[in-house]
Structure 1
């Protein structure tokens, strides 16, 4: 189902979808009200959701759909300016699975790339099982039984944390980082799979939600305690032997750039005994091999437990490869990082 108020864009999206043999268009509607009315009858496998809609906007529509008839939602964002991006990021927090760039005219450069991205995201997300949401991610119960810890000993004096996520990552990252105080004693590096044009807005959105300052990582920076560094759009993020950030345009690894495995691998090579790696929800296997290498080199590796992961792909792959020192439900990861860093919870 396509939800888009612009007739021109709605027709363009319908044309894009109709060309892809993996997809079948079952409805194209102009408002959230119409979508909510048609949803019980049509029962689509996935929804393409515009954010700026007349009446009920895309954020509120996402909330209602996830509460009433949970369906995978891909947000189609028309702009990377602040207001639209904030709504898009909050829609992800409300249960949407990913955000992609809105298509422009067929004669415009980059159209085919954007069209392919939209179709691929719709196809992949149509296969993600979603659950009913009864509030924000922070309302999830914490009385969940985590997997027992392995024999690994956590670092006596941890120096750096690296966190990676993909599908379902923005709200998961907001919850984990939201548990950390502004004076957190360690730097935190983040890899989130998302379209490059959205990364600046994503980091600003996170910065407005959590206490530690969040910014896009810059080449050659020395990561400082209490700061969060997000991999730039379409660039790898790594740490050098000298303890500086390295931002790289080298080829994607496993079709991902940034690649979580390269971040974890750089820590394994240079800073393993002081490193904590965290792998959250995500489709595929990026980060699994790197986390296993980090753990094998003496780092401490935490994976999100299946009970809370939106997509238990990346964490499951790490567990299979022996890349998990400890598997925890999402609400327990932030408090565990506080404990590892020697911080007394408020």
Structure 2
């Protein structure tokens, strides 16, 4: 049975190209199109789609309002196909994820080029993955003030300065990752005594918007790793777009270019393997929601080096691919729901710091 897709897009050119791309897959059928959010909402109960693709910028009802209504009345997997985050408001696209959308795919300002093979395959793959995602009526996230109060209660032990025996946290995520990262980082207190290095699979052009959005809701400083820099306690680092991030023999960040046959760049495995080699048993490796198996081998290397490993559980993962691959490999020492991961690493890091004083 074909995957039924509803397209909500006000640009005739973009609509035509999206229909052409999705129509090229024998497993996908575009069963409805709408040029406004209101039209899309009216179509949902009639055509019963499996997946919805929507733009953000639309007349009368923008993508955020549309997504919010869908998640309240007809919870369905939503893929946002939109231009890269606008400079004047980098939070817009990620607000759709907060409202319940599952993933993001970029749309060039000049329209979607039908001959773009990579974009075509990415769109088809994402629709196929999203068709198997279970979504529920959206619950409101805790306010930042409420979360900060929870953080103060979680960290009962004093925060101690990082030293040579302290932990380093390595995190990998893909589809469903941005909200998981938000929840993880919101659960960490200001002055968290370990560096965190994170790889999130995300389409080109969206990284800075992701970082800015995460900064607005968490206590820990977030920045893009610079070559030659050493990871510092109390900071979260992301790699630059389209480059692999590793730790060299001196414990400094270094970058490597993507190879032609590689699927993911930056790669979770590449980061995890280098961190396992340099930090060994001082590493805590975490795999969150995501499709595929990137990070499973790297997490196994962390575990084999004496580090600690945590995988997000199936119930709280939007897509259980990456955590499941690590679990199947025997690489995940703990499998935890999303809301238990931040408290777990706080406990582990504080325990280590107490033992070294």
Matched with 2:78 is: 73
Matched position secondary structure for 1:36:
helix
> Structure 2 vs 1, CA of residues 83 and 64 (structure 1 numbering), >3 Å: closer, same or farther?
farther
Between the aligned partners of 1:302 and 1:263, the Cα distance in structure 2 is: 16
Aligned-pair CA distance for 1:36: 1.1
| 1:262 maps onto 2:270 in alignment | yes
| 1:10 maps onto 2:15 in alignment | yes
> Structure 2 vs 1, CA of residues 67 and 158 (structure 1 numbering), >3 Å: closer, same or farther?
farther
Between the aligned partners of 1:332 and 1:84, the Cα distance in structure 2 is: 32
Deviations 1:30-85 (A, max 9, x none): 11111111111111111111111222221122122122222111101123323564
| 1:56 maps onto 2:61 in alignment | yes
> Structure 2 vs 1, CA of residues 284 and 301 (structure 1 numbering), >3 Å: closer, same or farther?
same
Between the aligned partners of 1:207 and 1:137, the Cα distance in structure 2 is: 16
TM-score with structure 2 length normalisation?
A: 0.85
Between the aligned partners of 1:271 and 1:253, the Cα distance in structure 2 is: 28
Count of residues in correspondence between the two structures: 328
Matched with 2:235 is: 227
Deviations 1:218-277 (A, max 9, x none): 222111111111122222122122111122213278621111111111111111111111
Between the aligned partners of 2:202 and 2:105, the Cα distance in structure 1 is: 8
Between the aligned partners of 1:310 and 1:124, the Cα distance in structure 2 is: 10
Does structure 1 conserve the Cα–Cα contact (< 8 Å) formed by 2:79 and 2:103? yes
Spell out the pairing of 1:86-165 with structure 2 (5 A cutoff).
86-103=91-108, 111-136=116-141, 157-165=165-173
Matched with 2:38 is: 33
Deviations 1:202-228 (A, max 9, x none): 112212221111112222211111111
Matched position secondary structure for 2:220:
coil
Matched position secondary structure for 1:48:
strand
Aligned-pair CA distance for 1:92: 1.6
Between the aligned partners of 2:269 and 2:45, the Cα distance in structure 1 is: 41
> Structure 2 vs 1, CA of residues 116 and 104 (structure 1 numbering), >3 Å: closer, same or farther?
farther
Matched with 2:220 is: 212
- Structure 1 stretches of 5 or more lacking a match? 143-155
Does structure 2 conserve the Cα–Cα contact (< 8 Å) formed by 1:137 and 1:175? no
> Structure 2 vs 1, CA of residues 328 and 108 (structure 1 numbering), >3 Å: closer, same or farther?
closer
> Structure 2 vs 1, CA of residues 130 and 228 (structure 1 numbering), >3 Å: closer, same or farther?
same
From 248, 253, 257, the equivalent of 1:245 is 253
Between the aligned partners of 1:96 and 1:289, the Cα distance in structure 2 is: 29
> Structure 2 vs 1, CA of residues 17 and 108 (structure 1 numbering), >3 Å: closer, same or farther?
closer
- Structure 2 stretches of 5 or more lacking a match? 1-5, 151-163, 352-357
TM-score with structure 1 length normalisation?
A: 0.87
Matched position secondary structure for 1:258:
coil
Aligned-pair CA distance for 1:110: 7.3
